[in-house]
Amino acid sequence: GTELRAFAGNFLYSTGANEVAGRHTRGHFDFPMRGCTVTLDDSVVIDTGKVIE
């Protein structure tokens, strides 16, 4: 389930259906990543899997 893939410091890239947004597809893809660095608006928010506060 999602609870095993969604935790602080993990980055989950997900694509596919979103019924609320009106996107209906036949396929769905989740790509959970650990130990990565994520930037948002040129600011690091996750550094090697650790949340920056």
pLDDT band, very low/low/confident/very high, at 37 (cuts 50, 70, 90): very high
pLDDT band, very low/low/confident/very high, at 45 (cuts 50, 70, 90): very high
Whether 25 and 16 have beta carbons less than 8 Å apart is answered as yes
* Predicted pLDDT at 4: 73
pLDDT band, very low/low/confident/very high, at 1 (cuts 50, 70, 90): low
Comparing 6 with 20, which gets the higher pLDDT? 20
- CA-CA distance, 52 to 37, in Å (whole number)? 10
Comparing 17 with 43, which gets the higher pLDDT? 43
